[in-house]
Amino acid sequence: MCILMPTTDINRYVAEFERLQQARVADEPAWLRTIREQALARFTALGFPTTRQEEWRFTNVSPIADRVFRLAAGSEDRVDSENLAPFRFAAAEPVEIVFMNGRFAPALSSLDALPAGVSVRSLADVLSDDPDRIVPHFGRHAAFEDQPFVALNTAFASDGAVVETTPDVVVTRPIHILFVAARGGEVSYPRVLVLAGRNSQLQIVESHVGVRANGRHGRAGIRDQGSGAPSFTDAVSEIVLGDGAVVDHYRVQREATDSFHVSTTQVRLAHSSTFSSHAFSFGGAIVRNDVNVLLAGEGGDCTLNGLYLAGGSQLVDNHTVIDHAQPHCGSHEIYKGILDGRARAVFNGKILVRPDAQKTDAKQTNKTLLLSDDAQINTKPQLQIFANDVKCTHGATIGQLSADALFYLQARGIDRATAQQMLVRAFAGDITGRVKIGALREHLDDVLLTTLATQSNPARRSAGAAEAKGAGSHNSKVRGEEACEVEAEA
């Protein structure tokens, strides 16, 4: 059950960590070094999760565990601003902080005209200017004790975004945190810390995107199909709301179709604060998103919306935990998935209502649309209710496009392919329609259409696979070759 001796995979990470700690000794305060060491010790003790663990039962991460990823170098020169245009949503005077492979890229960012009352800085800058601000929060919310990927990120994250608002400020322009992963068998550890002051209001868009390693990007809007070895992103975001704060968090994950992405978003709500999460996953070989919300103050309200797409032989796994620790809190969750090919999806929504959390109002819905006979979803609600005066409902549906609806459209002259697209867009529109930033909503509609077209068009898929194979071997040594080849086909 417990791994006493670290395996060779773990040893690689330990060796890399020791090298890093030496390099970082001048830049990092003692408290941070200590946290990092604790995190690495936990990772070493836990190892990568296995399918014998309940939370990972349907998600086998050995393709990640068995690969060697180079720690991303993060050079800005590899990508210029033009290449990032497909990932931006039009905004007048954008506020944007860009990270290349987890490292702050000032030349690609737009931080000159910050609105009043909000600061957007890189972790490195905060550590050198003002470290005390984040000591109570960094690494204190996302628990690394029992989550190996969080532990790994906490040990390795070299940089990140720190966004803070002063009390009472209402920030009307969305803050875009853009993490760019270049190709080439690299791992990056994006890290975000958001501290929303009392009664402040804020919108954050957190994007995780992939571009080709040599800086060239395909046609605008088309994601990298995978040339060279796949990348691995292990992201952690901690979002802390003060009393009465209102935070909208939009998360867009669109990296290469054969990439690996594991993320944890940890949120803490204080008294009467309001949080909404809109998570969009457009596919990867293995995508696993954990969203954990702690309703730590009375009268808090959280909304979790999600849309996930997967095709080919991709896997997308969404786990959410909403902890009603205080009374009079509300939570509303709706996650929708669109699966094609032989894709697999997992949805696990846990709602915990503690004994004193009376008058809890919790609602959870998961709906999945299967566009092919071989696509599959494992969906499970988990309600742990210990209070006795609460309202908790949950529901899940899994289905195909209605044949009657398709025929109705065809009977009006609309060809089958267009009819299918209209109905799929209508299904997804339930989630994209809840995006309050108009330009982002349109942007997401475009990405949705492009992704659907790619997933349903085998020609494009095999073109991508041919590229991946033809690119030759890189530095990555792969065990379990067959399993990885299947993933790369996506």
Partner 1 sequence: MLEITNLHARVGDGPSTGARGALSAVEGREILRGIDLKVGTGEVHAIMGPNGSGKSTLAGVLAGRSEYVVTAGSVLYEGRDLLAMAPEDRAREGVFLAFQYPVELPGVNNAYFLKAALNAVRRHRGEEELDAIDFMALVRDRMKLLEIDPSMLNRPVNEGFSGGEKKRNEIFQMAVLEPRLAILDETDSGLDIDALKIVASGVNALRSPERSTIVVTHYQRLLNYIVPDYVHVLSEGRIVKSGGKDLALELEEKGYGWIEQEEVSR
Chain residues binding partner 1 by CB under 8 A are: 402-405, 407-416, 418, 422-423, 425-427, 429-430
Query: Min. distance of Cβ 421 from partner 1 in angstroms?
Result: 11
- Rounded CA-CA distance 351/231 in Å is 32
Query: Min. distance of Cβ 403 from partner 1 in angstroms?
Result: 3
In the complex with partner 1, the residue whose CB is nearer, 386 or 407, is: 407
DSSP 3-state of 27: coil
In the complex with partner 1, the residue whose CB is nearer, 411 or 459, is: 411
Query: Min. distance of Cβ 455 from partner 1 in angstroms?
Result: 20
Query: Min. distance of Cβ 417 from partner 1 in angstroms?
Result: 10
Query: Min. distance of Cβ 456 from partner 1 in angstroms?
Result: 18
User: What sign for the dihedral angle of Cα 125, 127, 130, 133?
Assistant: positive
DSSP 3-state of 194: strand
In the complex with partner 1, the residue whose CB is nearer, 112 or 373, is: 373
* Beta carbons within 8 Å of 361's beta carbon, 6+ residues apart: 329, 330, 331, 390, 391
- Position 368, amino acid: T
Instruction: Report the C-alpha dihedral over residues 33, 47, 186, 292, rounded to 10 degrees.
Output: -80
CA 331-441-379 angle, 5° bins: 45
Query: Min. distance of Cβ 205 from partner 1 in angstroms?
Result: 24
- In a 13 Å sphere around the CA of 212, the CA atoms on its Cβ side amount to 18
332 sits in which H/E element: strand 330-339
Query: Min. distance of Cβ 156 from partner 1 in angstroms?
Result: 42
- Rounded CA-CA distance 233/101 in Å is 9
Backbone angles phi, psi at 228, to 5 degrees: 95, -175
Structure tokens given for 20: 């890093």
- Position 56, amino acid: W
In the complex with partner 1, the residue whose CB is nearer, 298 or 430, is: 430
In the complex with partner 1, the residue whose CB is nearer, 36 or 336, is: 336
In the complex with partner 1, the residue whose CB is nearer, 413 or 472, is: 413
In the complex with partner 1, the residue whose CB is nearer, 232 or 335, is: 335
Biggest alpha carbon–alpha carbon distance for the chain: 71
Alpha helices (H) along 383-437:
403-410, 416-432
Query: Min. distance of Cβ 423 from partner 1 in angstroms?
Result: 7
* Beta carbons within 8 Å of 244's beta carbon, 6+ residues apart: 198, 199, 270, 271, 272, 273
Query: Min. distance of Cβ 471 from partner 1 in angstroms?
Result: 40
Query: Min. distance of Cβ 381 from partner 1 in angstroms?
Result: 23
* Beta carbons within 8 Å of 266's beta carbon, 6+ residues apart: 141, 142, 143, 236, 237, 238, 239, 292, 294
In the complex with partner 1, the residue whose CB is nearer, 111 or 406, is: 406
Query: Min. distance of Cβ 168 from partner 1 in angstroms?
Result: 38
* Beta carbons within 8 Å of 281's beta carbon, 6+ residues apart: 253, 261, 287, 289, 306, 307, 308, 309, 310, 316, 318
CB atoms within 10 A of CB 25: 10
Q: Tell the burial category of 337 from Cβ atoms under 10 Å away from its Cβ (0-12, 13-18, 19+).
A: buried
In the complex with partner 1, the residue whose CB is nearer, 414 or 478, is: 414
| Distance linking the first and last C-alpha atoms of the chain | 33
Query: Min. distance of Cβ 429 from partner 1 in angstroms?
Result: 5
In the complex with partner 1, the residue whose CB is nearer, 402 or 473, is: 402
In the complex with partner 1, the residue whose CB is nearer, 128 or 402, is: 402
In the complex with partner 1, the residue whose CB is nearer, 132 or 404, is: 404
